[in-house]
Amino acid sequence: MYNFEARRIHEGPASIASLASLDYTGAMRPEDAITKHFRLDKNQIAALKRLGLATILDLLRHFPSRYESGGASVRVEGLSPGTKVTLVGTMKGLKAKKLWKSRRNITEGWFEDGSGRVKIMWFNQPYIASYIKEGSMVKVTGTVGGKEGNPYIANPEVEYLPPGVIPEGLFDAEKEAGAPGIFPIYPESRGITSLWFFHALKRIFESSVLAALEDPIPSSVRERYHLPDIATAIQWVHKPEKEDHATVARKRFSFEEIFTIQVARALDRKENDSQVSFPMPEAVSLSERFLASLDVKPTNAQKRAIDDILVDFQKPHPMARLLEGDVGSGKTLVAAATAYAVVNSRPPERKSGTLQAAYMAPTEILAQQHFQSFIRYFKHLPINIALITGSGCKKFPSKLKKGEATDISRTQLLKWVAGGEIAMVVGTHALIQKSLKFQHLAYAIVDEQHRFGTRQRRALAHKGDAAPHFLSMTATPIPRTLALTLYGDLDISVLDELPPGRAKISTMLLKPQDRAEAYEKVRDEIRKGHQAYVICPRINEPDPAKINALQAKSAKAEAKRLKEEVFPEFEIGLLHGAMKADEKDAVMTRFAAGEIQILVATSVIEVGINVPNATVILIEGAERFGLSQLHQLRGRVQRSSYPPSCFLLPETKSEVSMKRLKTLSESDDGFKLAEADLEARGAGDLFGKQQWGVSDLGMEALKNVKLIRAARDEAEHIVRSDGVTKYPALLSRISKIATELHTE
Ligand code: ADP
Ligand code: MG
């Protein structure tokens, strides 16, 4: 049997030894700083900080990411690049040497377990070779690099496992014995190990802290769904005696997280519904007039969404609505038809002037594009339209040049918006600065809202006296359970139909060796005067701070390779997240003008770029993206009646990946793809977890429709009955989650 106590005694690394010799001052309380009760070295302090753990309660709520029964769960033979693994085995042939070109130190060696061996290397840690003895038993944790079939692990964490302890507890011997010890594995950070957590928590459990914990879930709710109380659940999640303990505890915490978010959203909604909006008695006929003036007919889906919004406009409290529609489904038209009603309505008890509308876009390019669209839609009206971005302001129409926009100063813009002379303002984040005050802001539209926080949204909304109607638009197909939870405060309209005349996209899944086929197609399209995107693989890197730099490097290398080896005759541009906003804008402007034929980009182009002349897209490392992200990416070339093509170039030949990617060539329904993603890989993979800020546990729960509904019913009930204030622990979870949720 795998014995941690034995391991502790034999192993005795500094971090564990320090636990035994603490000055233990007084009783431990949940809100106490960890440093008050544990002696920590510099690395441990830094690691806890990186993990966002400050208090004892934080430690208790830092859940294991998985459990191991005794030894390692992964073996060398099953390694696949890009995954994070923990292996147990022996180190052999460690050698330190100096790389001659870069003068860098590298330590290389082989890690072996019963199933095979894998190369391990450390950079700039020449001392490693001296402290891991040849043939010693180690636990290695790191991310697998290299290629399928030729993997390596660079810079792993390594824990020395003394002989005599581990072998009995490992692998088959243990399974045969039928009594595995369950060891929690925590999301680790350099400087702190799972073993440290294991022992620290043991000490905390020995104190009286658990008894002092307040439960954020009301007991009646816990009883209804047979959920353990907080103290039991915390013990079970960290120190399960059987698998079932961990499962039940995790279920409780995922319910708690979803419930908390739902309560927060229900409170938001309640606050919204207590506010007053500007009346717009003519809204319906105004919108009809607008639609009649267009030379296109709105799709049925657009008509339904416009009706939803107009009905909301008639209500005494502000609208709070999410408009979801695939790329190209025509969300701008819905925004324009309804904004038209606003900018043609008078403020109450006024003989002149109009209500105001604001439209916030996620990037400067998009703000400019939409400024132009609104000018096209509204140019016949006697109203002023303005643009505000970080790099300047514009107004339409110009007093001097009829029918054109002109540059104005920020001061002028602020004055005219505050005075009500400007009816429609389009902008970036610059819209929500404090100095921008509206006179009668009646309608706030936010495009690609998951890029904006709820707080920013509110900042925009709270400018006027009465509260504006709020419309959030997104091209991200959000599975229902996720929408019900994260956007629980919003009503939802869906555009599930593309405007007519849009050519169908052909999506082709190529084997790595057939890549030339894709290049031929690109050449062909460019010769016809069209343009192309090449998307570089998404890089999985645990440290978000490093992602941009790594992506940038790979995109640069790919652009260089294409220019030198494949398309020397074409102009190739580069776009990645590490570029400054004005650099990105400059490249996009050149691409839009046709000066660049091939744009090599990381997934930054995902959001709303509109270059109708781009007709082909190549996606490298396609298996690293979620299906809905791929769907969004290919939407970039589906902007006209010309039939576009998308080439998926996966790096692996793994059957699972190929099968998953195949659904993309078979379906062009963004919602179906999002649901498929949720099923297959969990919501975390949908669009990058960072964007949602929901924990892994919460994400898992999002697959569970019954749980989501139950949590939602309970949340609505407790908010309706004004019960929230009776649960201080719930309120404190709400504010904790609010700061963690990226959308705040
Ligand atoms: P989204 O913002 O939803 O991605 P857009 O609003 O940019 O989509 O619209 C995409 C394109 O479709 C635009 O060129 C727009 O003019 C056009 N479009 C929108 N609605 C219709 C319609 N009902 N009929 C024809 N074309 C439309
Ligand atoms: Mg759009």
What spacing in Å lies between the alpha carbon of 443 and ligand 1's midpoint?
21
Confidence of residue 362 (pLDDT cuts 50, 70, 90): confident
Instruction: Give the binding-site residues of ligand 1, using a 6 Å CB cut-off.
Output: 296-299, 302, 325, 327-333, 475, 499
Mean pLDDT of the region 5-16: 36
What spacing in Å lies between the alpha carbon of 362 and ligand 2's midpoint?
10
Take atom 15 of ligand 1 and give the residue whose Cα is closest.
330
- Residue 334 CA: which ligand is closest? 1
What spacing in Å lies between the alpha carbon of 55 and ligand 1's midpoint?
51
Residue type at 406 in one-letter notation: T
What spacing in Å lies between the alpha carbon of 608 and ligand 2's midpoint?
6
What is the position in ligand 1's atom list of the atom closest to the CA of 612?
A: 14
pLDDT digits (tens, 9 = 90+) for 291-344: 999 999 999 999 999 999 999 999 999 999 999 988 788 999 999 999 999 999
Take atom 26 of ligand 1 and give the residue whose Cα is closest.
499
Distance CA 417, CA 460 (A): 13
Residues β-bridged to residue 534: 600, 618
- Judged on CB neighbours under 10 Å (0-12, 13-18, 19+), 134 is exposed
With a CB cutoff of 8 Å and minimum separation 6, the contacts of 153 are 85, 111, 118, 119, 120, 121, 140, 142, 143, 144, 145
Confidence of residue 9 (pLDDT cuts 50, 70, 90): very low
pLDDT of residue 455: 62
pLDDT of residue 707: 87
The answer to whether 677 and 684 have CB atoms below 8 angstroms apart is no
Return the best residue to mutate from 290, 291, 296, 493 for the ligand 1 pocket (most ligand atoms within 8 A of CB).
296
What spacing in Å lies between the alpha carbon of 286 and ligand 1's midpoint?
20
- Residue 494 CA: which ligand is closest? 1
Integer angstrom CA distances of residue 737 from 263, 474, 491, 537, 610: 11, 23, 22, 31, 35
What is the position in ligand 1's atom list of the atom closest to the CA of 298?
A: 23
pLDDT of residue 7: 35
Return the best residue to mutate from 302, 332, 370, 426 for the ligand 1 pocket (most ligand atoms within 8 A of CB).
332
pLDDT digits (tens, 9 = 90+) for 580-637: 878 888 898 899 899 999 999 987 655 556 788 999 999 998 988 888 888 888 888 8
pLDDT digits (tens, 9 = 90+) for 98-139: 777 777 778 889 988 767 889 998 887 766 766 677 777 777
What average pLDDT is seen over the chain?
82
The answer to whether 93 and 110 have CB atoms below 8 angstroms apart is yes
pLDDT digits (tens, 9 = 90+) for 25-55: 568 999 999 999 999 999 999 999 988 999 9
- Angle formed at CA 443 by CA 478 and CA 334, multiple of 5 degrees: 55
More confident residue, 131 or 525: 525
pLDDT digits (tens, 9 = 90+) for 665-701: 888 888 788 877 777 655 544 444 445 566 777 777 7
Residues β-bridged to residue 646: 507, 617
- Residue 741 reports pLDDT greater than 60: no
What spacing in Å lies between the alpha carbon of 332 and ligand 2's midpoint?
6
What is the position in ligand 1's atom list of the atom closest to the CA of 332?
A: 6
pLDDT of residue 715: 94
- Residue 639 CA: which ligand is closest? 1
Which of these, 189, 117, 182, lies nearest to 153 by C-alpha position? 117
Confidence of residue 415 (pLDDT cuts 50, 70, 90): very high
pLDDT of residue 553: 80
pLDDT digits (tens, 9 = 90+) for 547-575: 777 777 888 999 999 999 999 999 999 99
Beta strand 406-408 with 392-396: parallel, antiparallel or unpaired? Answer: antiparallel
What is the position in ligand 1's atom list of the atom closest to the CA of 635?
A: 4
What spacing in Å lies between the alpha carbon of 586 and ligand 1's midpoint?
25
Mean pLDDT of the region 636-653: 86
What spacing in Å lies between the alpha carbon of 309 and ligand 2's midpoint?
17
What is the position in ligand 1's atom list of the atom closest to the CA of 299?
A: 23
State the DSSP string of 516-564.
Answer: HHHHHHHHHHHHTT-EEEEEPPPP--S-HHHHHHHHHHHHHHHHHHIII
Q: Which of 62-66, 250-254, 285-289 has the lowest mean pLDDT?
A: 62-66
Mean pLDDT of the region 202-229: 93
The answer to whether 720 and 704 have CB atoms below 8 angstroms apart is no
What spacing in Å lies between the alpha carbon of 113 and ligand 1's midpoint?
57
Return the best residue to mutate from 295, 300, 333 for the ligand 1 pocket (most ligand atoms within 8 A of CB).
333
Q: Which of 68-82, 428-442, 561-575 has the lowest mean pLDDT?
A: 68-82
- Residue 462 reports pLDDT greater than 60: no
What is the position in ligand 1's atom list of the atom closest to the CA of 325?
A: 3
